[in-house]
Amino acid sequence: MEQIVSAILTVLIGVAGCVVYFWGTNWLLDRFLSTNQSMPGEVVTRRDYLRSQVRPWLFLAPALVFLTVYLIYPVFETARLSLFDAQGINFVGFSNYLWAFRDSTFLQSVFNNVIWLLIVPAAATAFGLIIAVLADKLWWGNIAKSLIFMPMAISFVGASVIWKFIYDYRGPGQEQIGLLNAIITGLGLPPQAWITIPFWNSIFLMIILIWIQTGFAMVILSAALRGIPEETLEAARIDGANDFQIFYGIMIPQIWGTIVVVWTTITITVLKVFDIVLAMTNGQWDTQVLANLMFDWMFRGSDFGRGSTIAVIIMLAVTPIMIWNIRRANAEEGTR
pLDDT digit string, tens, across residues 5-47: 888 899 999 899 989 988 898 888 888 887 777 777 788 888 8
Q: Which residues pair with 84 in a beta bridge?
A: 91
CA distances from 318 to 111, 315, 331 (A): 16, 5, 20
Beta carbons within 8 Å of 318's beta carbon, 6+ residues apart: 268, 271, 272
Residue 286's region, left for phi above 0, alpha for psi from -120 to 50, else beta, is: left
Q: Is 326 exposed, middle or buried (0-12, 13-18, 19+ CB in 10 A)?
A: exposed
pLDDT of residue 225: 86
Q: What is the mean pLDDT of residues 300-318?
A: 89
DSSP state, residue 91? B
Q: What is the mean pLDDT of the chain?
A: 86
pLDDT of residue 55: 85
How high is the pLDDT of residue 76?
92
User: pLDDT at residue 333 above 70?
Assistant: no
Packing angle, helices 304-335 and 95-102, rounded to 10:
90
Tens-digit pLDDT profile for residues 44-64: 888 888 888 888 888 888 889
Separation CA 144–CA 131 (nearest Å): 9
* Distance of alpha carbon 104 from alpha carbon 96, whole angstroms: 14
